[in-house]
Amino acid sequence: MKISHIFFATVCCLQANAQSFNNLPVNTQKPPLHGRHWMAITGKPLAATAGAMIFNKGGNAVDASCAMLAATCTMWDVLSWGGETQALIYNPKTKKVIAINALGVAPTGATADFFKNKGMKYPPEFGPLAAVTPGTAGGLMTMLAEYGTMSLKEVLAPAMQLAEGYPIEAQTAFSIERGKEEIKKWPYSKKVFLTHLGEKREAPDAGEIFVQKDLLATLQKLVDAEQQALKKGKDRKAAIYAAYDRFYKGDIAKEIVRGSQEQGGLFTEADLANWKVKIEEPTVTNYRGIDVYKLQPWTQGPAMLQTLNILENFDLKSMGYNSTKYIHTVYQAMNLAFADRDFYYGDPAFAPEEPIKGLLSKEYARERFKLINPELNDPKIAPGDPYPFEGKQNPYLDILQKWGTSRADNFKPVNPLDEKYLESFTAGTTSVEAADKEGWVVSITPSGGWVPACIAGNTGVGMSQRMQSFVLDPKENPFNVVEPGKRPRVTLTPTLALKDGKPFLSFAKQAGDEQDQLLIQFFLNVVEFGMTVQEACEAPSFKTLQMYSSFGDHEKVPGGLTLNSAMPAWVRKDLSRMGYKLTYQDRTSGPINAIYFDWQHGTFWGGSSNHGEDYGIGW
C-alpha cells in the first residue's frame, strides 16, 4: 500500500515524546522480508534468485553473495566483470569482521602528467583510459576460496545461464539506448550491446533475450581451469585460485590487455599479473554501544564513522526526526567529515600515510563538533587538522591554509539542478547483502564497467571507469593523485554493525557520493528513531551536495541540499533562511539494501528501498 504524503509530512516532524516507530501501524510500500535460515538481497531480482538458488543447494552466505555478484556483473547496467568489488564479511568462527579490497589500480603510464598533457582536468569518465585494472573477478574468487564452501562451477552456474541469454530488463535496455553514441566508439561494445545496429532503436528491447557469447566463453574458461585443477588433485581452494590465475595471468588476461591496448588503453600483462586482492582490517567506531565497521580510506567509508563520532555529541532523538534542527545538524556534521574525505583519503599502500587514527578519534570529532553553527549553514567548511590527535605535525598546513583559494575551490559553483552534474553525483551501482543461520554475514558494494562500458576485446568483460576518481593536482588531495599501481579513493562503501559482539545490521547502497550520507540516515533511523529495517529503507532522506563529486569534473554545490518533495513548507522555509539552496526529489531513500538481526526471535529482517530494482528473498 502506497504511503501517503500526509504520512511523510507527519513523520518529518515527530518529536522525542512520539511513540516508537516499531509500535506505529505503518504500511510500507514494500513488505519487509523475513527469514529464519538465510537472506539474499541485491540490486536485481534475477540476481537475488541466483543467491536463493545457491542457498537452496546448501551454500553459505559467502557462496550466495558470490553468485549474486556474478549475476549482477552479467546483467550490466550498473557494473561488469571488469569493475571493482569492496566487501565486509563477518566470520562467525572468529567472530571478527574481514575487509575485502578488490579495487583495481592505475595501469602503467597513468600519471598526472599523462592526463594533463592531453588537456584533461581529471582522468576521463568513459573509455579505456578511464579503467583501473579489473578487480571484481579476483575479489569474487578470493572470497569464495577463502570463506565459501562451494566450487566456482556451482557458484557461476546462474551467471552462465544468464550469459546464455536472459530477458533483459527495461532499465538496462534503456541505459544502452541512451548511451549508444558512446558505445559506438568501441567496436567490442558495439558488437555486444547494439543488437539492432542501424535501426531506429539500436539497443535490445525490454524483455528481449540478451545473449553474451564472449562473456560466456570467458566464464567457461574459469570453470575449466578450476575443474582441470581438481582432476589433478588440487583441493577446492587451490582449484579456484587456478581459475584466478587464468584470469590475471593466462589467456584471459592476454586478451583483456590486447583488447584494451587496441582501443587506446594502458594495461600491460604485468599490471594484471602483479595485482592482488587484499584481505584487510576494517575501520571501526563505536556509536552509543554499537560497533560500526567500514573499509579503509581508499573508500569514503570512514567518513560515515567520522560523522557518527561528531553526532554522538548531540541528542538527536530530542530534535525530532527530519525536523529543521535535525536536518541542519546532520548536514553540518556530514560536511565536516566529507571535507576531510576530500582532502585526506587515498590508497594507504602509497605515501603519504593517511592520518586515519586522528580522523577517527573521538577527541578530533569533539573539535569538529565545535565548528557547527546551530543557526546557519557554513558553505566554506574546510578540512580539519587530525595530525595532533595522533601526536604528529601536519605536513600539509600550507595547502590547507590556501584550500579555499586553490584551483580546487576557485570555480563557479555548479547549478544544483544541472542534470549532468546530478547524474554523475548520484550514479548508481548495486549492493549485495547476505546472511545465513550459521552466522556468516556479507555486505558488498561492487561497481565499475557500467553502461556505456568499453569492452576489452573478445572477453565480454566491460572495463572499469574508476580512474576518474583520482585527482591530478595535490592541492586538491595530496593522498589521491593518480600514480601507476595505485588505487583511487572510491565512493563504494559496504557497512556492518555489531551490537554486544553479534551482528546487528548489514547494509549498503548504490549511488556514488550519496552512499554514506544516506547510510548514516538509515542507521540513525533504526538506532535513534526505532524504525524497522524496511521503514528505515523507505524513510525520506536528505542529501548534501556540498562535498566534491568523485566523478566527472569533481564539482560541488556549497549549501546544496536535496529534500524529499513531501517535506513540510515550514521546514523548507526554515532551511532556506539558514542559507541552504534547496532542491527536491520525490524519492530520496536509496536504494538501500539491509538485513537486521533479530536475536530475540532468532530471525532475519530484510529491507530494500521503495524505488529501483533492488529486492531480495528470505527463507
606 with 33: CB under 8 angstroms? yes
617 membership: H or E segment, kind and range: strand 615-618
Res. 422: pLDDT tops 60 = no
pLDDT for the residue 615: 86
pLDDT for the residue 73: 96
Residue 362 covered by a domain: yes
**What is the mean predicted confidence (pLDDT) over 5-32?**
50
Count of Cβ atoms closer than 10 Å to residue 464 Cβ: 28
Residue 517 covered by a domain: yes
Least Cα distance to 531 among 161, 18, 1, 176 occurs for 18
Instruction: Provide the domain limits for residue 323.
Output: 5-33+280-431+485-618
The contacts found for 1-4 with CB under 8 angstroms, 24 or more apart, are 1/27, 1/29, 2/29, 3/27, 3/28, 3/29, 3/538
Count of Cβ atoms closer than 10 Å to residue 395 Cβ: 11
Contacts of 459 (CB under 8 A, 6+ apart): 214, 215, 218, 252, 255, 256, 259
How does pLDDT run across 122-162, given as a tens digit for each residue? 999 999 999 999 999 999 999 999 999 999 999 999 999 99
Residue 111 covered by a domain: no
Residue 259 covered by a domain: no
Residue 87 covered by a domain: no
The CATH code of the domain that includes 597 is 3.60.20.40
Q: Which three cell numbers stand for residue 389?
A: 590527535
Domain count, the chain: 1
Q: CA–CA separation, 24 vs 3, rounded Å?
A: 13
- % of the chain at pLDDT higher than 90: 84
How does pLDDT run across 574-585, given as a tens digit for each residue? 999 999 999 998
Q: CA–CA separation, 594 vs 137, rounded Å?
A: 24
Only one residue has cell 557554513, namely 378
Residue 301 covered by a domain: yes
504 membership: H or E segment, kind and range: strand 502-509
Count of Cβ atoms closer than 10 Å to residue 586 Cβ: 10
Query: pLDDT band for position 11 (50/70/90)?
Result: very low
Quick check: bond before 45 cis, omega within 30? no
pLDDT for the residue 78: 79
492 with 88: CB under 8 angstroms? no
Residue 142 covered by a domain: no
Res. 114: pLDDT tops 60 = yes
Rounded to two decimals, what is the model's pTM? 0.94
Only one residue has cell 587451490, namely 238
Residue 115 covered by a domain: no
Contacts of 251 (CB under 8 A, 6+ apart): 221
